[in-house]
Copies of this chain bind each other. A is one copy, B any other.
Amino acid sequence: MTIELINTGSELMLGRVLNSHQQWICRTLADRGYIVDRQVAISDDSTALVAAVREGLSRADWVITTGGLGPTCDDRTRELVAAMLGRRLEHHPEVEAQIRSYFEGRNRPVPVRTKVEAMVPEGAEVLVNRHGTAPGLALWLDPNPLRPDGRPTWLVMLPGPPRELRPMVLDEVLPRLTKRFPRTEEFVCRTLKTTGLGESYMEELLDEPLKELVAMGMDLGFCARVGEVDVRFVARGELAHAIVAEAERRTRAVASAHIFGVDDESLETVLVNEFTARGLKLALAESCTGGHIANRVTNVPGASAVLVAGWVTYANEAKQKFLGVPEALLKEHGAVSEPVARAMAEGARTASGADYAVAVTGIAGPGGAVPGKPVGTVFIAVAGPDGVEVKQQLNAFDRETFKYITAQQAMAAVLRRAR
């Protein structure tokens, strides 16, 4: 079975937005054993759109389009696809009623332009939009006139806004998918999330232990991210579960110190879950990361059971006043120093009453370097029941990467201490 995903939108080709649909749809389908073979993005230009959909339909069993179903002048997927397939657009009173009730429920007038959203190509199934106005549209092309052998293709057109598209995929598309294309063989995908060892070293380490499983047909993949390397196993068929489980066992046997989680787990998820399970409390004192760690920790549902308090203390006065860092320390060593990191962590732990406090102070750049302390210099302190440990790092990256990788190191450090 081949799947092709077509994302439309000039904002994609102009680089104004990240294509979050691609990741979300690919992941949602892959987790259920359906792998997208090709993803294509094109502008709202009608020639490009028609060419891409035509190509997709000429070779794939399932073609998904995103975007171009809205009410504005650059939303043309509906009409272009209907014209390409020689289908008329028919007015759909139920869809119009839904659109009307969407606006009425928000005490807003119905914009004239939304009328076009109630037009549906002949023979298309309507996918209800519970979070917006444009419905999705599904066409089962059997025979598919664009495939040389006439084999059927399922064409599913989804609206662009993620908060409309995502529930529509889960509630409307997936139930139909398993009927259209029942899965025929086992499929297992497992990712081990690692930190602290580069991609090449990791592959060297795993080469020998995993050789046999790769020879049995298991896909082994590596993905280097900032401060992380994903190790991914994919297997199909009857033995899929056993092969992947064995791969994980062998990998843990040689690399357990570097593995912090599995699949889509983030360090912050692991941190919140472990602290929750053990009834531990956390406090954060951030200078150069400016709330980045707190933000990531609080992205995890249930973080309120773990995070007692966080401070963003850019200014020296804030470090003194709120964390009790002695002025003399700041004067003698500077804000970016081992003693100040230590005092921040101790201050945060004492003020909050948390079991562990993490403090970071460093130079995110692009400005702020001083002699002996280049941009990227950072001190990470973890205060716990058994004292304070401080580590110096040099994370010489752009500002946002600096914050990200520093947060990785800080979260990994507190996890290690608490384990």
Residue ranges of A at the interface with B (Cβ–Cβ < 8 Å): 9-20, 22-31, 35-44, 48, 52, 70-74, 111-114, 160-161, 163, 189, 191, 199-201, 203-204, 219-226, 230, 232, 234, 264, 284, 286, 289-295, 297-299, 301-304, 307-315, 317-318, 321-322, 351-352, 364-368, 397-401, 403
Q: Is the CB of B308 within 8 A of A314?
A: yes
Chain A interface SS verdict (over half): mixed
28 contacts between A and B (CB under 8 A): A12-B22, A14-B189, A14-B234, A15-B22, A16-B232, A18-B20, A19-B22, A35-B43, A38-B41, A38-B48, A70-B224, A71-B203, A72-B200, A74-B221, A112-B204, A161-B224, A290-B303, A291-B292, A294-B294, A298-B403, A299-B399, A301-B365, A301-B366, A302-B367, A308-B314, A309-B311, A309-B313, A311-B312
Q: Are B12 and A399 in contact (CB under 8 A)?
A: no
| Contact status A204-B52, CB under 8 Å | no
**Complex: A8 Cα to B259 Cα, angstroms:** 25
Cβ A19 vs Cβ B17 within 8 A: no
Give complex CA distance A225, B17 in Å: 9
Cβ-defined partner of A13 (8 Å) among B10, B35, B400: B35
Residues of B within 8 A of A71 (CB): 199-200, 203
The answer to whether B199 and A70 touch across the interface, beta carbons within 8 angstroms, is yes
A171 CB, nearest partner CB in chain B, Å:
15
Say how many copies of this protein the assembly contains: 2
Can you name the residue of chain B whose Cβ is closest to the Cβ of A284? Answer: B312
- Chain B residue at smallest Cβ distance from A222: B72
Contact flag A291-B309 (CB < 8 Å), given A16-B264, A322-B322: no
Task: Tell me, in angstroms, the Cα distance from A74 to B172 when the chains sit together.
Answer: 35
